[in-house]
Amino acid sequence: MQKSLLMIPGPVEVDPDVLEVMGRPTDGHTSSAFIETFGACLEGLRDVFAAPDGMPFVIAGSGTFAMELAVANLIEPGDRAVVVETGYFSWRMADVLTRHGAQVEQVGAEVGHAPSLEDVEAALKKGAKVLTVTHVDTSTGVCAPVKDYAALARRYNALVVVDGVCAVAGQEFRQTEWDVDVCLTGSQKALAVPPGLALVMARPRAIEAFKARKTPVASYYADWGLWLPIMQAYMDRKPAYFATPAVNLVAALAESVKQINAEGMEARWARHRRLSNAFKAGAAALGLDQIPVTEDLRAVTLTTLYFPEGVDGSLLKRISAAGVSLAGGLYPTIKTRYFRVGHMGVNGIGELLRTLSAIEQGLGVQSGAGVAAAQQEWLK
């Protein structure tokens, strides 16, 4: 039986070389081979995040753990946090902050929109230790203007935390240039590694804020103080132990990071943009409307599409029967009205054309208009 093509917004398809590395016999976490692998991986992630001055953390856990790892070390009870709300995962960040004692103000917008700079600034004017932004919210496909929000936060001396789970290594992101203090992601999205690793890149201002805390970090496992010497030791090519790393997953990540940096971030961002444009052109040719209301808000790592009038979620079953797995809706008020297509990591135009063909089959369209429009856009 042929494997269904995985085109959901994570986990994603994984390069065979990455899977081969992951399947090798497990090294000891203090062996010289693993120390070199992990050290090189951590250093390579600075290029992926475009953060030459960043401190990388790679720890066994999900993207949700990465969210906690990012903010638990910065927030103390009573600190004020402003959350830019663009969908389901912005709400999750607000929950994490609240559990760590933050006073949270969410700045929202209608579904498919991003909060205005004026509204975000009004919240920051009240004072805030942290501003959080979901770069690409996986529930809506909205890509937030991180660079603009970060510039506002700097004006009001707030630390900037970016949830890059559905963005890093696909959506253009320049952490140091945009002056973002902390960015987080998971291994299973545009990094194109199986699920299981939480990644955080923290820049000096965030590390300084952590060291200036007056109270202990509420989470033991997420405490930067316990992980900083471990990450530094691996980068110095020395053995260290706090908790056993996910050795095989780290090896897979190291292989993927090597591939990503061989491609180059400029080329990788451009490839994702080009693929996204092609897929969205194909979807438009099929009469499928997107959730983000304007082109500048549309992510390049996924596309969120409303079902056509008279069509419901059973469409996804028909697409699956055609050999492609897509994801249903997640945003509560429109959950039954749309579906989501991930196109990040190692996917190329062939996978996107196959996906559009499966959507056409699911819709009962015989013209091939979606595939043709995507090809035309790709060849421009």
Q: Which helix (H) or strand (E) holds 82?
A: strand 80-84
| Helix, coil or strand: residue 130 | strand
Residue pair 318/362 in contact by the 8 Å Cβ criterion: yes
| Confidence grade of residue 2 (pLDDT, cut at 50, 70, 90) | confident
Residue carrying structure tokens 């110095």 = 236
| Helix, coil or strand: residue 36 | helix
Measured between alpha carbons, how far is 12 from 122 in angstroms, rounded to an integer? Answer: 38
The model's pLDDT over 26-55, given as tens digits with 9 standing for 90+, comes to 999 999 999 999 999 999 999 999 999 999
Residue pair 304/316 in contact by the 8 Å Cβ criterion: no
User: How much is the CA Rg of the chain, to the nearest whole Å?
Assistant: 21
The model's pLDDT over 106-117, given as tens digits with 9 standing for 90+, comes to 999 999 999 999
Q: Which residues pair with 131 in a beta bridge?
A: 82, 160
The residue with greater pLDDT, 232 or 367, is: 232
Percentage of the chain beyond pLDDT 70 is 100
The architecture of the domain spanning 5-10+265-378 is: Alpha-Beta Complex (3.90)
Q: Which helix (H) or strand (E) holds 358?
A: helix 349-363
Give the pLDDT score at 367: 84
Longest dimension (CA), the chain: 65
In angstroms, the Cα distances linking 74 to 102, 196, 276 are: 10, 24, 35
Identity of the amino acid at 107: V
Measured between alpha carbons, how far is 364 from 129 in angstroms, rounded to an integer? Answer: 53
Measured between alpha carbons, how far is 370 from 312 in angstroms, rounded to an integer? Answer: 19
pTM of the model: 0.97
Across 156-183, average pLDDT: 98
Q: State the chain's mean pLDDT as an integer.
A: 97
Burial-class residue 179 by CB neighbours within 10 Å (0-12, 13-18, 19+).
middle
Q: Where are the domains of the chain?
A: 5-10+265-378, 16-263
Has residue 366 got a pLDDT over 90?
Answer: no
Across 76-87, average pLDDT: 98
Q: Which CATH code for domain 16-263? A: 3.40.640.10
The model's pLDDT over 262-315, given as tens digits with 9 standing for 90+, comes to 999 999 999 999 999 999 999 999 999 999 999 999 999 999 999 999 999 999
The model's pLDDT over 300-353, given as tens digits with 9 standing for 90+, comes to 999 999 999 999 999 999 999 999 999 999 999 999 999 999 999 999 999 999
Has residue 1 got a pLDDT over 80?
Answer: no
| Sheet with 55-60: strands ordered across | 55-60, 197-202, 182-186, 159-163, 130-134, 80-84, 103-107
Q: Please name which of 232, 221, 260 lies closest in space to residue 66, comparing C-alpha atoms.
A: 221
Q: What angle do CA 89, 276, 84 make, to 5 degrees?
A: 25
Across 221-250, average pLDDT: 98
The residue count of the chain comes to 380
Measured between alpha carbons, how far is 97 from 85 in angstroms, rounded to an integer? Answer: 13
